A = this chain, B = another copy of it.
Amino acid sequence: MNNAITVIEALATLAFALSGLLAAARKRLDAVGVVVVAGLAAFGGGTLRDILLDRRPFFWVTHADWLWGLLALCIVAMLFLRARHFGVTERAMQWPDALGLGLFTAGGTEIALANGMPPIVAVLMGMVTAVFGGVLRDIVCNEIPSAFSDHRPYAVCSFAGGWVLVGAQQAGLPGETALAAAALTATGLRVLALATGWQLPPWRAGAPPPG
């Protein structure tokens, strides 16, 4: 079970690191900024979850090798990635990113449930794990987090996946089946949203003054 969670966190980390790397490059950050923003995108969500749950050690302390991997990834990208690769990389990354959304959601919700959190808090922790790496990435890049403003379903897919895990556990399904169902739900909804262009409902207030 713990092995499964470890593999889950490791796979999803790469897709998220790349999103940070591209965001940092678009903002023309320097080499330090690229590494930090990639690291925040990759490890920030799980780290924030662990701080909230008062849980140590962090993933990147137990698996310190991953920090070297992140550094290597950033150096290779800075040497070889060219402007013309950006669009293609971003489109190609939509799919591992959707996978990461599902995996982080399932892993984060599971960890919170194992720490005795009530269901809604566990689902929230799954969302924090999956979404807040990107939120921290955008805050450091001085942007409104895209997860809160682009009207494309992302956190809500995580929300749905988290409830699948809660329901599957309460229905007595085996742990790995429950995790897989949750991850597939979140990832599947995200893929569906990308494929159909589904949008979150806009605020119906008309035009609130910006004041």
Cβ–Cβ contact A27 & B139, under 8 A: no
Cβ–Cβ contact A26 & B61, under 8 A: no
Please report the total number of A residues contacting B with Cβ < 8 Å: 68
Smallest CB separation, A189 vs chain B (Å): 13
Smallest CB separation, A177 vs chain B (Å): 26
Give Cα distance in the complex from A86 to B34, angstroms: 30
A168 within 8 A of B: no
Contact A83-B207, Cβ < 8 Å, known A30-B148, A54-B56, A120-B68: yes
**Set B86, B135, B155: member contacting A208, Cβ < 8 A:** B86
Cβ–Cβ contact A209 & B87, under 8 A: yes
Q: From A210, which residue of chain B is reached at the shortest CB distance?
A: B26
Q: From A32, which residue of chain B is reached at the shortest CB distance?
A: B155
Cβ–Cβ contact A67 & B124, under 8 A: yes
A197 within 8 A of B: no
User: A104-130 toward B: CB 8 Å interface, digit per residue (1/0)?
Assistant: 000000000000011111001000000
Q: Which B residues are CB-close (under 8 A) to A27? A: 144, 149
Give Cα distance in the complex from A46 to B172, angstroms: 36
Cβ–Cβ contact A200 & B31, under 8 A: yes
Cβ–Cβ contact A33 & B120, under 8 A: no
A147 within 8 A of B: yes
11 additional contacts, CB 8 Å, given A64-B120, A83-B208? A25-B205, A30-B203, A31-B156, A31-B200, A33-B148, A64-B118, A67-B121, A78-B204, A78-B205, A79-B204, A139-B139
Q: Supply 16 A–B pairs (Cβ within 8 Å), ascending by A.
A: A24-B148, A27-B144, A29-B149, A31-B203, A32-B147, A32-B148, A32-B156, A52-B58, A64-B118, A78-B203, A82-B204, A83-B207, A85-B205, A139-B139, A139-B140, A140-B148
